[in-house]
Amino acid sequence: MVIIMIVLLLLQSVIQYYHTYLTNTLGQSTIRDLRTNVFDHITRLRLKYFDRTPIGQLITRTVSDLETIADIFSEGLIVIIGDVLQLVALLAIMFYTDWRLTLIVLIPMPLLMAATYVFKEAIKSAFQDVRAQVSNLNTFLQEHISGMSITQYFARENQEMHKFKRINAQHRDANIRSNWYYSIFFPVVEIISAISTGLLVWYGSKSIIDHDISPGVIMAFIMYINMLFRPIRELADKFNTLQMGMVGAERIFTVLDTKEEEENSGTISSGTVKGEIKFENVWFAYNEENWVLKNISFTIQPGQTLALVGATGAGKSSIINILNRFYPVSKGIVSIDGKDIREYELGFLRSLIATVIQDVFLFSDSVANNISLNNPAISRDQLITAATEAGALQFIERLPGGFDYDVMERGATLSAGQAQLISFIRAMVYDPEILVLDEATSSVDTETEILIQRTIEKLMKNRTSIVIAHRLSTIQNADKIIVLDKGEIKEEGAHQELLKLDGYYKRLYDLQFNSSGIEKNQYQ
């Protein structure tokens, strides 16, 4: 018997090893695939979704909520199945040994089932609150660490700390509430176990006195009760893991079920594009019918430059957003080379357009990877050539490591002008058919602006371009200038033509140059 016990112990150890290894492998493989699917889905969502969804919330979904699903496999589901099998085997042995004693022992079970049901409902609500508070905590941290400079500029550290303490306390309270349910449930299980043991002793003692059963059977049943309630307690603990995983899964699948993807049914995925852009009676609104663009119509011939000017909120950036299909057009048609942009495959459409924006975003990566965006088709020689044409090669070579220099998160180690130059080089190496410049020189110094203007001239050559600019001095040579006001086209024409109209453009022009003290004659 001793040899058999040792062999069984060794066998149990081997099985336990493979059980732990395989269940954890299964859990990690599952969340690897799920995380890939979630990230892929998020990257395909319209920008409108991100306008109303905190980034910290999406990070919680993609990271910590998914970890709770891994626990379902490694600590929850399979362990629960094992405990259930143990209960079934144990009950079978108990009924085989003495069915009357077994029924006596099981009398309190309805109480246990009722307590378990109440516990299940309560703990699910508690875990939903816990995951919501985790999301709130992550959102707060993501926003405030990213905006730390603002906090310190205005000496708001103490006030923000008070906010964090309040959110952190809510997170703590949510976890305490979930633990409180366990602090009630486990004693209830112990009481029910004690009731079963008391009933066993009461009925068993009478049976021993009447010589119906032996004392050994009673001792065995006392052991059976402990064996019966141990997996029940563990089931409750594993149910914790299962519930947490189910809540996490519910939140993750809410993201996966979000129908905010831009329709990608276009069939044009290759070919040569000349770059003719046409807007025909385009209406657009971010929210219902609060129109941002109203009946916009214009045409840009291949190789021409269109400049968009107007006050903030006039609708300039919205034109760029719908050209890239970041937002769907409400009414009207936008076409490239005479074909509705919806006929183009989405990836191909966006590959035709390079956009340089005012707020340049750089990833925590090398200069080379920020320019190529990890595109293996772009060689180091192409990067050097583009940097040379942009007049930025010297500044890159002065960086420690040159093209391999890590710019850190959001390009924190570079100046605004250097980051902007990198964005121009990025546009050059992708060699787009259509170039969009959205306030691309508004945040740089005069010297850098002169350098960038030379780069812009090279980029625009023989290429359809759309330029959004507040500085009217940068758009004097545009083939066409459109003046927008409250989503409507007020004036359209070349620089000199618009000045002669003595309208919106002339007023903007006078206001800007008079306020800056610049002689207008040199631009007329």
Nearest 5°: the CA angle 444, 445, 446 is 125
pLDDT above 70 covers a percentage of the chain that reads 93
Q: Average pLDDT, whole number, for the chain?
A: 82
- Check pLDDT > 60 for residue 523: no
- Is 425 in a helix, a strand, or coil? helix
Mean pLDDT confidence for 428-448? 75
- pLDDT of 446: 62
Give the single-character DSSP code of 263. Answer: P
Query: Two tokens at 273?
Result: 């594009």
Nearest 5°: the CA angle 495, 501, 507 is 80
Measure CA 320 to chain center: 23
Q: Evaluate whether 285 touches 292 at the Cβ level (below 8 Å).
A: yes
Per-residue pLDDT tens over the stretch 15-38: 888 888 888 888 888 888 888 888
Non-local (6+) Cβ contacts of 522 within 8 A are: none
- Give one word for 337, left, alpha or beta, with left for phi > 0 and alpha for psi -120 to 50: left
Looking at domain 277-523, its CATH architecture is: 3-Layer(aba) Sandwich (3.40)
Name which residue leads in pLDDT, 57 or 405. 405
pLDDT band at residue 327 using 50, 70 and 90 as cut-offs? confident
Per-residue pLDDT tens over the stretch 414-433: 877 788 888 888 888 888 88
- pLDDT of 524: 45
Dihedral over alpha carbons 185, 189, 192, 197 (to 10 degrees): -160
- pLDDT of 377: 86
Domain residue limits, the chain: 18-256, 277-523
Indicate yes or no: pTM above 0.85. Answer: no
Per-residue pLDDT tens over the stretch 188-230: 888 888 888 888 888 888 888 877 788 888 888 888 888 887 7
* DSSP one-letter string for 66-91: HHHHHHIIIIIHHHHHHHHHHHHHHH
- pLDDT of 334: 92
Q: Evaluate whether 431 touches 461 at the Cβ level (below 8 Å).
A: no
Q: Smallest Cα–Cα separation from 22: which of 94, 77, 90?
A: 77
Give the span between the Cα atoms of 146 and 57, in whole angstroms.
Answer: 15
Name which residue leads in pLDDT, 14 or 116. 14
Per-residue pLDDT tens over the stretch 446-489: 666 676 777 777 777 788 989 887 767 667 778 899 988 888 88
CB neighbour class for 296 (10 Å; exposed up to 12, middle 13-18, buried from 19): buried
Max mean pLDDT among 126-130, 295-299, 373-377 falls in 295-299
Give the span between the Cα atoms of 358 and 441, in whole angstroms.
Answer: 7
Per-residue pLDDT tens over the stretch 219-273: 888 888 888 877 777 766 677 677 777 777 888 888 888 887 777 778 888 888 8
Q: 401-438 in b/e burial notation, b at 16+ Cβ within 10 A?
A: eebebbbeeebeebebbbbbbbbbbbbbbbebbbbbbb
* DSSP one-letter string for 440-458: TTTTS-HHHHHHHHHHHHH
- Check pLDDT > 90 for residue 4: yes
- pLDDT of 336: 92
Per-residue pLDDT tens over the stretch 477-521: 788 999 888 888 888 888 888 888 888 888 888 877 665 444 444
Q: Smallest Cα–Cα separation from 295: which of 89, 489, 28?
A: 489
- Is 477 in a helix, a strand, or coil? coil
Instruction: Tell me how crowded residue 289 is: count the other CB atoms within 10 A of its CB.
Output: 7
Give the span between the Cα atoms of 399 and 367, in whole angstroms.
Answer: 10
Q: Evaluate whether 310 touches 483 at the Cβ level (below 8 Å).
A: yes
- pLDDT of 440: 63
Per-residue pLDDT tens over the stretch 80-130: 777 788 888 888 988 888 888 888 888 888 888 888 778 877 877 787 788
Mean pLDDT confidence for 374-379? 87
Which CATH number among 1.20.1510.10, 2.120.10.30, 1.20.1560.10, 3.10.20.30 corresponds to the domain 18-256? 1.20.1560.10
